[in-house]
């Protein structure tokens, strides 16, 4: 039997999954690492901790599976988008990896977005102007940390750094490059205008390659550590969003993938690039004639974690005493509240927001609190608020590529019966939950199978995803959601000026607090 590995380098962990050529899982590992958030807008990771976690994951999976080295035909790589590491002339990191969730470049992103060049860059790159992008981060570092900027010889992401450590070459796949905000989706090369605004040149960026590109000749010491043949190809792969679509078989026109993990997204695949006149959605490369059009949200499962830890500490303790998952207890409590939470609406913008409003200053709030509001209402409203926001992304996507023919959903939320039905009711559409395990890793492994000739087409992924559970919308809930969603949209848009005002206040307060501590 032949095998491929799918390696998914995520925001807080790297997941390593071994698949056979039937798409069956033969080994799994999930290795975590910390996210450093010393200030409210910071979100960084240590690249060496990520590298170590990836090595441990691959090593453990291969050893436990006890397969022959010759049977491992390839390793496919997936990675979270928008990370930035500055390297010196000796390829040593000058900083921790700045992740997509870092908002410290907000000032410069807002300035660029408001300029005539902002829309031009979006149209050429398919990447909305936002502090998440390496483009905005480089501008911020150049202006606020000029000494650090001057020391930098290379500007790379975490996948490029890992591959350099393994192979000694700097290569970047089209998909990850696409998400930097500096890649021209029509020329398939670094965008001249974006680089000029960033203040860098092509010489300080990795060489661009297709997502099926194979890296070979891993350094001997790492081949020995991992327990693989030195000539085992690493398929450079793509970014995690497009690969998640591939992993749930949402690659045909009109098939919409909805993901809720730590963050979330709504995405479809098209055969050519598409951008939005209102700049609400992204356009990222997956493979030849496959472009991923969609919108990401910052606030997915991380909001539920906040509810668990900050709003429902007593319930968390109760769940631990009962030896059940706190999330299961919270969803049981929320299920007692009717659809629409009796008019309580939650705006889930705890970490700013990306699609569809693209506002790093956005802040969370409850609207509709009354004397009869209970914690149960707040739990359900928080879950509904996440899905409301995903639905508004889907509405924007419809304007660009049309209504969805079908919807595939995946991510950690899929474990919750309540959340699955909530998604179905709010979208008013059947939703299929694929059986496929770790969809992004499966997407990476499938791309590896295609690159190495184990399968003839990426559409062969349909054989791997397994059976699906289909949820049907409950018409009894339509009236509540149809009335509340327009209110949600109007309020979130009306608050835009106040989002900036409150965010500015919070930043000044944070700076004052730091001064007091010092």
Tell me, rounded to whole angstroms, the distance of Cα 87 from its chain centroid. Answer: 24
Say whether both 161 and 233 belong to one domain: yes
pLDDT digits (tens, 9 = 90+) for 170-187: 999 999 999 999 999 999
For residue 489, how many C-alpha atoms fall within 13 Å in the half-sphere facing its CB? 15
pLDDT above 70 for 517: no
Say whether both 212 and 97 belong to one domain: yes
Grouping H, G, I as helix, E, B as strand and the rest as coil, residue 346 is strand
Reported as a pLDDT band with limits 50, 70 and 90, residue 410 is confident
Q: Which of 202, 282, 192 is nearest to 242 (CA)?
A: 282
pLDDT above 70 for 249: yes
CA pair distance 58, 132, nearest whole angstrom = 29
pLDDT at 284: 98
pLDDT at 412: 82
Say whether both 199 and 331 belong to one domain: no
User: Is there a contact between 76 and 444 (Cβ–Cβ < 8 Å)?
Assistant: yes
Reported as a pLDDT band with limits 50, 70 and 90, residue 441 is very high
The dihedral built from the CA positions of residue 273, 239, 289 and 398, taken in this order, carries a sign that is: negative
Say whether both 312 and 384 belong to one domain: yes
Say whether both 54 and 174 belong to one domain: yes
Q: Looking at the domain assignment, is residue 404 inside a domain?
A: no
**How big is the chain, counted in residues?**
518
Structure tokens at 431: 């939703």
pLDDT at 328: 96
Cis check for the bond before 356: say yes or no (omega within 30 of 0). yes
Say whether both 102 and 178 belong to one domain: yes
Q: Which of 257, 295, 483, 490 is nearest to 393 (CA)?
A: 295
% residues pLDDT > 70 (the chain) = 98
Reported as a pLDDT band with limits 50, 70 and 90, residue 515 is low
Say whether both 360 and 217 belong to one domain: no
The dihedral built from the CA positions of residue 297, 301, 305 and 308, taken in this order, carries a sign that is: positive
- Report pTM: 0.94
User: What CATH number is given to the structural domain containing 210?
Assistant: 3.30.420.40
As to burial, measured by CB atoms within 10 angstroms (0-12 exposed, 13-18 middle, 19+ buried), residue 423 is buried
Say whether both 339 and 227 belong to one domain: no
The crossing angle, in degrees rounded to 10, of helices 375-401 and 478-494 is: 80
Q: Looking at the domain assignment, is residue 347 inside a domain?
A: yes
Bridge partners, 13 (sequence order) = 32
Domain enclosing residue 52, as ranges: 3-247
Domain closes at, from 247, 277, 310: 247
Grouping H, G, I as helix, E, B as strand and the rest as coil, residue 56 is helix
Question: Is 58 or 512 the better-scoring residue by pLDDT?
Answer: 58
pLDDT digits (tens, 9 = 90+) for 131-167: 999 999 999 999 999 999 999 999 999 999 999 999 9
Q: Which residues are CB-neighbours of 486 under 8 A, at least 6 positions away?
A: none
Domain closes at, from 231, 247, 263: 247
Q: Looking at the domain assignment, is residue 471 inside a domain?
A: no
pLDDT at 435: 82
Pairing, β 44-45 against β 72-79: unpaired
Pairing, β 154-156 against β 72-79: unpaired
Domain closes at, from 208, 223, 247: 247
The crossing angle, in degrees rounded to 10, of helices 439-451 and 240-247 is: 90
Q: Looking at the domain assignment, is residue 283 inside a domain?
A: no
Number of domains in the chain: 2
Q: Which residues are CB-neighbours of 14 under 8 A, at least 6 positions away?
A: 7, 8, 30, 31, 33, 50, 53, 54, 57
CA pair distance 177, 183, nearest whole angstrom = 6
């Amino acid at each position: 039997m032949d095998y491929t590995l799918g390696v998914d380098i995520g925001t807080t962990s790297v997941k390593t999954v071994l698949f056979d050529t039937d798409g069956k899982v033969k080994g799994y590992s999930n290795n975590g690492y910390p996210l450093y958030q010393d200030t409210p807008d910071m979100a960084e990771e240590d690249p060496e901790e990520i590298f170590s976690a990836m090595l441990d994951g691959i090593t453990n999976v291969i050893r436990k599976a006890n397969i022959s080295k010759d049977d491992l035909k390839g390793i496919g790589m997936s990675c979270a988008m928008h990370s930035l590491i500055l390297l010196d002339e000796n390829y040593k990191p000058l900083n921790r990896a700045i992740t997509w969730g870092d908002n410290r470049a907000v000032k410069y992103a807002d300035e660029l977005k408001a300029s005539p060049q902002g829309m031009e860059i979006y149209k050429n790159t398919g990447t909305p102007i936002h502090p998440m992008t390496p483009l905005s981060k480089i501008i911020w570092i150049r202006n606020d940390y000029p000494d650090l900027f001057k020391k930098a010889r290379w500007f790379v992401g975490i996948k490029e750094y890992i591959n350099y450590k393994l192979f000694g070459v700097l290569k970047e796949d089209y998909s990850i490059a696409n998400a930097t905000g500096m890649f021209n989706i029509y020329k398939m090369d670094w965008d001249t205008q974006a680089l000029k605004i960033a203040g860098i040149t092509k010489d300080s960026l990795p060489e661009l390659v297709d997502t099926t590109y194979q890296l070979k000749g891993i350094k001997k010491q790492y081949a020995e550590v991992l327990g693989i043949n030195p000539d085992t190809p690493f398929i450079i792969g793509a970014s995690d969003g497009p690969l998640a679509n591939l992993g749930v078989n949402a690659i045909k026109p009109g098939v919409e993938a909805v993901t809720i993990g730590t963050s979330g997204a709504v995405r479809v695949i098209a055969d050519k690039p598409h951008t939005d006149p209102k700049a609400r959605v992204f356009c990222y490369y997956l493979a030849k004639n496959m472009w991923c059009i969609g919108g990401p949200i910052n606030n997915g499962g991380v909001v539920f974690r906040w509810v668990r830890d900050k709003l429902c500490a007593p319930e968390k303790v109760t769940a631990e005493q009962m030896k059940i998952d706190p999330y299961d207890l919270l969803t049981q409590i929320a299920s007692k509240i009717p659809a629409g939470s009796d008019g309580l609406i939650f705006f889930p913008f705890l970490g700013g927001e990306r699609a569809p409003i693209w506002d790093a200053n956005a802040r969370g709030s409850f609207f509709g609190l009354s004397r009869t509001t209970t914690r149960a209402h707040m739990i359900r409203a928080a879950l509904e608020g996440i899905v409301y926001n995903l639905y508004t992304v889907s509405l924007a996507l419809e304007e660009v590529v049309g209504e969805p023919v079908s919807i595939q959903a995946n991510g950690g939320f899929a474990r919750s019966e309540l959340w699955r039905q909530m998604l179905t009711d709010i979208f008013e559409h059947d939703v299929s939950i694929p059986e496929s395990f770790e969809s992004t890793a499966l997407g990476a492994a499938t791309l590896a199978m295609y690159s190495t000739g184990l399968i003839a087409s990426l559409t062969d992924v349909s054989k791997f995803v397994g059976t699906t559970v289909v949820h049907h919308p409950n018409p009894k809930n339509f009236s509540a959601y149809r009335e509340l969603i327009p209110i949600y949209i109007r309020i979130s848009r009306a608050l835009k000026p106040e989002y900036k005002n409150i965010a500015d206040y919070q930043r000044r307060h944070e700076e004052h607090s730091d001064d007091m501590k010092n």
